[in-house]
A and B are shown apart, each in its own frame.
Chain A
């Protein structure tokens, strides 16, 4: 390879030349010579080669090809060679020509020829892919199957011979298969014809028919007869191969007279045999029979075919009958199918009146189409699909359903309470929806019941009002009813009578002019301000109008509040999300507005001090109710809003956190938090909203402990409210709240401290003037009775009378409020009530059973205090009684003392069951919290595996991983190939497209040219004409 050595800077072409030369030298003789020789040889082979290639013919081109290949490798441009990176330290012997290393692993060769391999790949693809592509989507075509046409090795004579042979064979085959009289092609009766051909060709082709290894010619004739069938039969006939001689004589020779209609096969057999036996033994007899039998056979055949035909017709008729029957039924069903379909069907019917059926319409393809389209239409029209109407449920079923729903909800709640996931939370949601539906239903009913003479508007409002009053259970006649009274006096009376109110007409008459003022449809308020304006404008209007009217003050109040209520209710009604989905955003806004309004309303920020001195329960209730509805409508938004509110409260407290006595929650906030706790399922173990809310309340409760010594009544009352709210929120789950226990304790201490105060007061009274003495004595403890016998409940006006009612941070005020006695009374009664309720709650809680955790640790210290309070009460009340005796309520106060001491006594007995007679002694069980399986002692001994040796394991692993690797490699290779294929095809397509485009352009150019010349010619002609 000297050429290669000095070919450093030669051009590629020169290099090629030199190398070719060298290669030629290396071979025997010049290159051209070799190729010529080869060509000749090849030619020779093509003409005369019997086997295709002799020994010389195969070796020489191989050598040449090898040489060329080598040349090709050497010729290639050095830039085409890619050096494969190999491992730094090669294993000995790795670089040998064999591509396998010492380890037997296949290793990559040092040099790769990407260009060559690409070329190879392209060629391969061109061979396979292109042909595939061309034949794609093409069915049929012409295939050159001429014998020997493509085989160059055959001589002309040979070709002709082959063709002739094939022709004869084909003809014989055709004859056999497609015989004119071969009636049933399913049966492969190869009768005499076949054998005839075989006989014919037998000599010339050198075939010899054998049977059972014996030559047919050697066989005895009868034997041959007996087994002839076997010779010519298919596998299907194998079982009949041995026909006894009698059968043969009867059926095959004499039996043709008897029409054997039992089986087709037999008949065919007979025919086949008889027919085929033209040159058999009994030729003379046979000829006669054949002649006769032919006619018979034909008759037979005809009869048979007729029978078949008849049968076919019969079945067809049956089918038709069935179809017609179906058609009739379809007419019935069609009524039940959708209306649209029915109409279209009817149209169809009209148009195709004569037939009137959809089925059996072979003769009328249009009819079939119509039917198909109908079916399709039905299929697509899912909503119109025949749905069975909901069966009306019976009372029992409804009851069961309701019970199940309740049980399910309760189950979910308990799961959540235990801190587990409830599978569906939608129960309550859907329930809310149901409520709305119910309302709607009710609304509809009402519209109907209000009936004649009313516009729908009036009816709607009437319904609202009705709904409202039903809900409240309070007799109220409001604008809507009065609207009735204007339009229809009779109606109004009926209505008022129905609601059972005697004073209805009186109050209604007072607000006549409001009827026109208060519209039935409001625009939805977008901001809080707008809403407040809305409420204030109408409330003031009503106020004025009431002033004009003859109603007294109480009536005015009763009359006025529902305006806010009705506004809220109407808003909810108008902008219900059920009415339209667009109302969702309105509902979201409305929720924020109402939530803020509730707080502000309670805090007296937006109440008119003159018209609304106190909070109206109905307004609060309406706010609660509507907010709950809104939460059901837009739960996500409400959830987010409430969380923001909680964050705001927190931020407020942390930023302004100062004195520990500050409780920053206003009463409005407390009401709002109460609402939150009511709306959400407060018994959950963890709840995204309830948990932080309870934490905030508890935090407020834990603050302000000095309020009890400084008598900060507003803080104490807030604590009382919060405690009751907390009790209500945990009343189902009975969770332990340490803050409440602590506060109750300090409240009891507060009551005990009243005694010392009373002493101090009596001392100071003796010093001060007599005028204030009775008042100050009055101040210790005043307990009033409720109308229904219980203790008076804290009224909202009481809260309002507290100093700095709506301030976030109650200042320490040294002077006592004037109604301190009353406040103290409230504190005493509500503390005792709370204590009783909490005791009852926790006593029944599972954590307090059979252990002293609640009774002994918490309640026993309290019971001591309660005991001293019990002894103290008469004294406290005595001072009270003295003052009250003037106001003729002494008997009342003594009864109160009795009631109170009764309550305290019951509390004490509840706390100390041991002291009471009926309850058993405590029976505390020791804790067994670690009752689970004892833990194993931790072992530090090493772990041995006894399964197999490490090497075995690793070998197994190796084989597995090798398989994996192999799979991966294969996959990669396949994907690569596929990619290359697709790239190749794309390129091919692109080329095709380009060609087509070029072609198109060419034609277009041509066309334009001709047109241009034509135009020019015409012009020229015109000019000429002119």
Chain B
């Protein structure tokens, strides 16, 4: 810098005041740009403190520049180019740590104009960086932290760059509408990228909380969601949530919704970690008392069938879930109790229910009986077997609160078991073992220590 100044001094044989000014301002502009470049290049380094510091300086520069522009043009202007540069750098730099991003996002969340701009620029940037998955990932991180503005919400008065007093009120910045459009554009542009599965899931997870409320037109997401829902597997589980919001709040009609929901009750359902989320929703979907009983019966049969290989943490959900269904739809009680009558045979050779039939209407669930509950009632974990025995009791209690059963895991169960106060010394086995192998045990058949 000093060198530059010297050069300027040496070169200047300037006498004219205007010219002097012009030279000075040119030099200042040049230095300013140099400075910004330096600051931006700091992002490439490893020092987090340096990054954060430079980010702060940059943001204050944005403020200053914006204020200057405002003063000059009398309308609200935002130093777009500078800010875009910053955001681009932030997103593209692979070594950028979360801290920097969090800081930036934290700031942005407070100040609306910045948000608007950042959303816009991010959208553009993500357009550019389609091929980079990690960039998409970071874009997601950035976008996730931007809060959408509700339809009726007032634009906050506190802008990052103080708005000039006399500026026109008409400017788009002051309308929530424009913010929402920006927001939607940013998200949609992100969604257009072929996303990695993990990111896809994450977007779906934040969909109904973060994205949908801030969208300009939520129905734009309809295709995205239905496609995800149809794709099956955990993705469809997650899409269900957004779809549910669309259906309930935006009047989306979804053909064969229950058939698809029925298809989601497959063998993997009880193993995935989003199952509690799913069951919460499924409970809502099946809570209507206007559902036909064949449908409910099919759901019950299917759920109990897949629970035959489920872990206790899933089984603990299944039993109250089925109980609630039976309670809501007393016509389905025939599944657990069928009185003898002339028109139906007293015994069967085969379960009339067809597990592989995709259409619940044709699955013959109502002709069947809920035999699947019997092994569960004999489950090795006594709590589960007790839980499953509620079907033997009179249906006195009202519906179970599903929320109490959703968040169990092996660990919570084991720790609960080991934390139990011992009231009575546990019983020892009767003939005390004298050897590693006991007669009649299968261990000796497949394993030997010789």
Contact = CB atoms under 8 A, between A and B. Distances in A.
A120 B126 CA distance: 104
Contacts, number: 281
Interface stretch (A163-171, A605-613, A726-734, A988-996): A726-734
B335 interface: yes
Nearest to A930: B337
A622 B262 CA distance: 56
B253 interface: no
Contacts of B308: 738, 741, 853, 857-858
Nearest to A853: B371
Contacts of A41: none
Nearest to A932: B394
A764 B369 CA distance: 51
Most buried by B among A679, A692, A795: A692
Nearest to A649: B414
18 contacts: A413-B427, A628-B434, A653-B411, A682-B429, A684-B426, A687-B426, A688-B422, A689-B426, A695-B414, A698-B312, A724-B441, A731-B442, A738-B315, A922-B350, A926-B346, A929-B337, A930-B336, A930-B394
A420 to B, nearest CB: 12
B347 A679 contact: no
Most buried by B among A632, A745, A929: A929
A741 B309 contact: yes
A687 B427 contact: yes
Most buried by A among B315, B333, B376, B414: B414
B447 A927 contact: no
Nearest to A628: B432
Contacts of A628: 432-434
A833 B445 contact: yes
Determine the main DSSP class of A at the interface with B: helix
B402 to A, nearest CB: 21
Given A681-B428, A928-B337, A735 B379 contact: yes
Nearest to B417: A692
A851 B414 contact: no
B255 interface: no
Contact of B443 (A728, A730, A734, A930): A728
Interface residues of A, number: 112
Contacts of B382: 419, 685-686, 691
Given A678-B433, A921-B349, A847 B447 contact: no
Interface in B407-425: 410-411, 413-415, 417-418, 420, 422, 424-425
B73 interface: no
A615 B449 contact: yes
B427 A428 contact: yes
Contact of A738 (B309, B396, B422): B309
Top 5 nearest A-B pairs (CB, nearest first) are A830-B446, A930-B337, A617-B449, A692-B417, A699-B410
A422 B427 contact: yes
B386 to A, nearest CB: 8
B377 A847 contact: yes
A410 B430 contact: yes
B430 to A, nearest CB: 5
Interface in B282-322: 305, 307-312, 315
A343 to B, nearest CB: 46
Nearest to A720: B446
Nearest to A717: B447
A617 B424 CA distance: 34
B348 interface: yes
Given A702-B311, A741-B309, A425 B337 contact: no
Interface of B: 305, 307-312, 315, 333, 335-339, 346-351, 369-382, 385, 391-392, 394-396, 410-411, 413-415, 417-418, 420, 422, 424-430, 432-436, 438, 440-450
B370 A927 contact: yes
B446 A794 contact: yes
Contacts of B438: 678, 728
Contact of A435 (B349, B432, B436, B441): B432
Contacts of A621: 434-436
A639 B440 CA distance: 26
Interface in A687-706: 687-692, 694-696, 698-699, 702
Contact of A684 (B379, B427, B443): B427
Contacts of B350: 852, 856, 922, 924
Interface string A636-659: 100100010011001001100000
Interface string A824-835: 001001100110
A589 interface: no
Contact of B394 (A636, A675, A935): A935
A659 to B, nearest CB: 14
B448 A425 contact: no
Given A728-B442, A741-B309, A625 B433 contact: yes
Contacts of A854: 375
B428 A738 contact: no
Contacts of A69: none
A928 to B, nearest CB: 5
Nearest to A829: B446
Contacts of B378: 734-736, 845-847
A428 B448 contact: no
B415 A650 contact: yes
B326 to A, nearest CB: 10
A625 B411 CA distance: 31
A850 B418 CA distance: 37
Given A471-B434, A679-B428, A930-B395, 16 more contacts: A428-B429, A621-B435, A625-B433, A643-B418, A679-B432, A682-B429, A691-B417, A695-B417, A727-B443, A728-B442, A731-B441, A845-B378, A853-B374, A858-B308, A927-B337, A928-B339
A650 B447 contact: no
Contacts of A923: 347-349
A1008 interface: no
Contacts of B440: 731
B371 A927 contact: yes
Contact of A431 (B311, B430, B442): B430
A524 B377 CA distance: 48
A129 B80 CA distance: 108
B428 A852 contact: no
A967 interface: no
A725 B414 contact: no
Contact of A929 (B311, B336, B346, B429): B336
Contacts of B447: 720-721, 724, 793-794, 830
B389 to A, nearest CB: 9
Contacts of B441: 724, 727-728, 731
B375 A724 contact: no
A538 B205 CA distance: 63
A427 interface: yes
Most buried by A among B370, B385, B430, B440: B430
Contacts of A617: 436, 448-450
